[in-house]
Amino acid sequence: MNSKRMVWPVVALTVFVLAGLAPGPGWAGAAKSGEVVAYVSMTERDIAPMQEAFKKATGLDVKVVVIPIGQAATRIKVEAGRPQADIQMGGSIDYYQELAKQDLLIPYESKNAAAIEPKYKDPQHRWTGWYMGVLGLGLNEQAFKKELPGLAYPASWDDMLNAAYKGKYVHANPASSGAAYTFIVGQILRMGSEEKGWDFMRKFTANVAQYQNTSPGPSNLVATGEYPIGLAWAQDLLVKVDQGYPVKWIAPVDTAYEVAGISILKGAANLENAKTFVDWILTQAEGARMSGFSLRYSTRPDVPSPKGVPTFNSLKLVNYDFVWAAANNQRLTKQFSDLMRK
Amino acid sequence: MRHAFKGNIKPSRVLVGAAAAGVLGLFLLWPVGLILCYPTVPAAAQVLANEHWFEALWHSIAMAALAGGTATALGLAYAYALVRIRVRGSGVLHAIALLPILAPPFVISISYILLFGRNGLITKQLLQMQLNIYGWKGLWLVQTLTFFPLAYLTLASVLRSIPGNLEQAASNLGASNFRVFRDVTVPLLRPGLVASLLLVGISVLADFGNPVIIAGDFAVLPTLAYLKVTGWFDLDAASVLASLLLAPTVVLFLIQRVWLGRRSYVTVSGKTTQQSHPPAPVWMARTARVVSYAAAALIVLVYGILAYGSVSQAWGYDYSLTLRHFTQLGRRIPSLANTMQFSFFGAVVSVLLATALAYVVTRRKIVVPGTFDFFATVPAAIPGLFLGLGYVVAFNQDPLRLTGTSLIIILALGLWNLPTAYRYAMANLAQLSEQLEHAAANLGATPVRVVSSITMPLLRGALLAGGTVTFLRNVTCLSVIIFLVTPRTPMATTDVLALVEGGEWGQAASLSIVLLGIALALLFGGIHLIRHVGQELEL
């Protein structure tokens, strides 16, 4: 009796297993014509419009995993030449330099990269810098008025040393946030020497209320008024502006910026489509679309700056040294985390 | 005849044992071993010299002890209120306590910040206090609320299994109600209290979701290791830190095994007696009632604000209603479908493997059953993130190249949840008498027939229970799959993480609500199915 009653569940289960595995997504694993796969270290907001624009321009699909650059790099490293994606895009070229050093990227010189200045490109073409994100301050106008009455909005990083900000400014941890690392390098370059840079950061960290673990972390907390002010990439804060939070982005004088890269991964299964994708990303038209949509500055000189923010040339920026930044990451991060513990 | 009978059964058991050992070795020991042995010795030494690991280790252990203590105390009060005092709305309170177990990680930390942060609805707007949730005190509160349901479920089942006649006898002999509690109930509860302390301790040690968002500058080992992986892709450091974490976890785990031994199973299968319990002392009843209502109210608030966030214009700022976050969920359908599919097959893997192991361990002392028992329970001590990383390192090369497939996710979930399924399989198999199987075998049934006609039908309840619980644990699991999902195999919890980090809080909230709904539906479906075969689901 019992064995008979067990028959149906067993049959149903078997059918479900077979039905489930047969068309199992990714069961085949390998390349599929008509698509390209990317690890994207950008925000969710960027994805759908980009997929649509790419489909319209080339008829191809781009499939993505949204994954912060540090995690993406970990994956690319452990997948060691057999990546689950063809492309890595977004995130600072600091990471791309390190991935290139570990021989995980394929050289590809896109015809559309010719318009981009050499300082934004790998001499061996393993990565190309395609947009710039500017580091600044995110500010909640309501909370600022309430918690810091009468204070003018800061115009420079030095303004942030004002004791009024003590416990009201939220920063990020450079061990896991690209923004916080760019901040360190930016301050050292701005002050002219490591010694002076660290001297500034020692005073600066005295005002920090807490350190978030990701770059968008401070923007998220500033948006809800948890803190009146915090560290922010322009493009991260824009996400919150878009959703209706009362926030504003400020570019302090002599601030730093990141250049975000794009690369084809070694072992890419859809190599030809990946090349098509890189070519497309680097076109003037796509640069203009992305720039207009997201407060990112294209590295192409023929793409106008995003609306509503100062033009790139009018921004006062430090002369950021990307090679030096990548080479000293471990040491500077460690030094900053000693400051955080005080 | 006797000789022939033995020869008939034994090889099949050896076979089952060998197959189970093979699966454990290949899909558990190898990947975990690879990731633990990842750094070279000098690299490891350098990590130990550079990192503030000792402080983080100390923080981790202290937090496990603190939260273990408060969660157990809260769990005891909750269990006492529900099981003994039977406060009004016990059924609802029970359901509320299940919420934190089913919660998708990360997103719930946002609720805590919105309620208890600097600008929190409760701390600032209601109580007008400037409280700082970030740091060890905030983490302590959050971990207590997150993990007390484990303590509650453990202690409720122990409380239920304490026969009323012992307490009644003490009461008849003139003991006051409080003395009955202190001298009879508490000693009987002791194994349950220890079990709960250890269970919560292990869970708190391994958790990185809450500390990453709440703990601020208070570093604990899992967050330190997680940040090494997600920061400057420093796998050497991450692997060393994970190994450090493994040490206290395994110690707790071994204490659990040695101290509690097999006693823990007795509580699961214990029968309640008809004899009623003497009443609880009035002040204790009152305390338990107030505490349990307060805890339930807090949980409702935390989940309520999440649900509210999913239909708000801008969660935490503009609470005017909108359905826009739900209508945007269309893009998540592939992820949700994968989550359901992989979670289901993951549960199948867990249940099949757990049953095979339990079978070998209980039925024949052929090959060191203790070893099998150990390896069936040890995945509970491995942080999911490192199991996942180990899978990538182990299965990204021929001949077993699985990365990018659904199978690798299914296997990782299956092995990671093995201890849960194993607990259910053991509890039931230990109760089944071997005599039935012997009888069938003596009557001429083949070993296959014995298993399919006798053992399996009797185990249905256990299989369903283990399957239900692992299924819903899979649905809300993040840590294991974070490095295994690919653009072709997206899953819902990693989508939630990307949405939280990308600042799309409204969508993160709505997707979490959908996941929570699925988990609850699975749970209640499972409860009904199991009732249908004449058993009760004990969580």
Contacts of A246 in chain B (CB under 8 A): 317
* CB–CB contact B119 A226 (8 Å): yes
Interface mutation target, options A87, A141, A243, A270, chain B, most CBs of B under 10 Å: A243
Q: Which residue of A has its CA nearest to B132?
A: A209
Distance, CA of B71 to CA of B147 (rounded, Å): 6
Q: How far away is chain A from the Cα of B504, in angstroms, using its nearest Cα? A: 7
The answer to whether position B65 is within a domain reads: yes
Q: Do residues B106 and B181 share a domain?
A: yes
Distance, CA of B151 to CA of B198 (rounded, Å): 9
Low-confidence ranges of chain B (pLDDT < 50): 1-8, 262-272
Q: Do residues B8 and B113 share a domain?
A: no
Q: Do residues B56 and B18 share a domain?
A: no
* Six token digits for residue B451: 């298993």
Nearest to B344 by CA among B413, B277, B276: B413
Q: Do residues B49 and B33 share a domain?
A: no
Q: Is B228 on the interface with A (CB under 8 A)?
A: yes
* Six token digits for residue B53: 């690991």
Contacts of A98 in chain B (CB under 8 A): 232-233
Buried b (16+ CB within 10 A) or exposed e, A195-209: eebbebbeebbebbb
Q: For B255, phi and psi rounded to 5 degrees?
A: -55, -45
Count of structural domains, chain B = 2
Q: Which residue range forms the structural domain that includes residue B204? A: 45-271+278-310
Residue type, A30: A
Which domains occur in chain A, in start order?
Answer: 35-132+259-309 (3.40.190.10), 134-257+326-340 (3.40.190.10)
Q: Is B130 on the interface with A (CB under 8 A)?
A: no
Of residues A17, A25, A236, nearest to B503 (C-beta): A236
Contacts of A48 in chain B (CB under 8 A): 331
Q: Are A43 and A217 in contact (CB under 8 A)?
A: no
* CB–CB contact A80 B216 (8 Å): no
Cα A50 from chain centroid? 15
The answer to whether position B317 is within a domain reads: no
CA B477-B491-B489 angle, 5° bins = 130
Would you give the end-to-end CA distance of chain A in angstroms?
Answer: 72
Q: For A272, phi and psi rounded to 5 degrees?
A: -65, -45
Look up residue B397 and give its DSSP letter.
S
Q: Do residues B459 and B499 share a domain?
A: yes
Q: Do residues B412 and B488 share a domain?
A: yes
Q: Indicate the angle between helix axes B2-24 and B333-363, nearest 10 degrees.
A: 140
Stretch A74-102: mean pLDDT: 91
Residues 226-255 of A with CB under 8 A from B: 226-227, 236, 239-240, 243-246
Contacts of A74 in chain B (CB under 8 A): 229-230, 233, 235, 389, 483
Residues 55-84 of A with CB under 8 A from B: 63-68, 70-71, 73-75, 77-80, 82, 84
Q: Do residues B355 and B397 share a domain?
A: yes
Burial degree of B50 (CB within 10 A; 0-12, 13-18, 19+): exposed
Q: Do residues B12 and B108 share a domain?
A: no
Contacts of B348 in chain A (CB under 8 A): 13, 17
The answer to whether position B523 is within a domain reads: yes
Q: Which residue of A has its CA nearest to B49?
A: A334
Give B230's contacts (C-beta < 8 A, 6+ positions apart).
A68, A70, A71, A74, A176, A213
Distance, CA of A243 to CA of A61 (rounded, Å): 28
The answer to whether position B320 is within a domain reads: no
Q: In what helix (H) or strand (E) does residue B284 lie, and over which residues does it extend?
A: helix B282-310
Interface mutation target, options A42, A77, A226, chain B, most CBs of B under 10 Å: A226
* CB–CB contact A2 B504 (8 Å): no
Assembly ipTM = 0.83
Q: Which residue of A has its CA nearest to B324?
A: A243
Q: How far away is chain A from the Cα of B141, in angstroms, using its nearest Cα? A: 18
Q: Do residues B214 and B70 share a domain?
A: yes
Give B174's contacts (C-beta < 8 A, 6+ positions apart).
none
Nearest to B477 by CA among B280, B162, B161, B206: B206
Q: What percent of chain A has pLDDT over 90?
A: 63
Residues 323-342 of A with CB under 8 A from B: 329-330, 333-334, 337, 340-341
Of residues B213, B389, B503, nearest to A240 (C-beta): B503
What does pLDDT average to over chain A?
88
CA distances in angstroms from B438 to A55, A121, B369, B526, listed in the order given: 66, 75, 20, 32
Q: How far away is chain A from the Cα of B175, in angstroms, using its nearest Cα? A: 50
Nearest to A122 by CA among A304, A274, A326: A326
Q: Which residue of B has its CA nearest to A98?
A: B232
Residue type, B115: L
pLDDT reported for residue B3: 42
Contacts of A77 in chain B (CB under 8 A): 233, 235
Sign of CA dihedral B197, B201, B203, B207: positive
CB-defined contacts A:B, below 8 A: 195
Residue type, B180: V
* CB–CB contact B217 A38 (8 Å): no
- CATH number of the domain enclosing B395: 1.10.3720.10
Q: Is the pLDDT of residue A17 over 60?
A: no
The answer to whether position B417 is within a domain reads: yes
Contacts of B456 in chain A (CB under 8 A): 6
* pLDDT, tens only, A170-223: 999 998 888 999 999 999 999 999 999 999 999 999 999 999 888 999 999 999
Q: Do residues B434 and B393 share a domain?
A: yes
Nearest to A237 by CA among A220, A213, A251: A220
DSSP string for B491-534: -HHHHHHHHHHTT-HHHHHHHHHHHHHHHHHHHHHHHHHHHHTT
* CB–CB contact A82 B397 (8 Å): yes
| Prediction pTM value | 0.86
Of residues B50, B119, B217, nearest to A211 (C-beta): B217
* CB–CB contact B231 A176 (8 Å): yes
Of residues A26, A226, A333, nearest to B118 (C-beta): A226
Q: Is A14 on the interface with B (CB under 8 A)?
A: no
Contacts of B468 in chain A (CB under 8 A): none
* Six token digits for residue B528: 């009904």
CA B210-B216-B221 angle, 5° bins = 65
Q: Is A31 on the interface with B (CB under 8 A)?
A: no
Distance, CA of B38 to CA of B389 (rounded, Å): 11
Sign of CA dihedral B456, B458, B461, B465: negative
Q: Which residue of A has its CA nearest to B450?
A: A3
pLDDT reported for residue B8: 45
Radius of gyration of chain B (CA): 24
CA A259-A263-A265 angle, 5° bins = 145
Enumerate the H helices of A102-177 as residue ranges.
141-147
Would you give the end-to-end CA distance of chain B in angstroms?
Answer: 44
The answer to whether position B450 is within a domain reads: yes
Q: Is A21 on the interface with B (CB under 8 A)?
A: yes
* pLDDT, tens only, A271-304: 999 999 999 999 999 999 999 888 899 999 999 9
Distance, CA of B269 to CA of A12 (rounded, Å): 30
pLDDT reported for residue B260: 63
The answer to whether position B384 is within a domain reads: yes
Burial degree of B505 (CB within 10 A; 0-12, 13-18, 19+): buried
Q: Do residues B286 and B385 share a domain?
A: no
Helices first, then strands: H and E counts in chain A: 13, 11
Q: Do residues B236 and B359 share a domain?
A: no
Of residues A38, A213, A216, nearest to B502 (C-beta): A216
Look up residue B328 and give its DSSP letter.
G
Stretch A138-148: mean pLDDT: 95
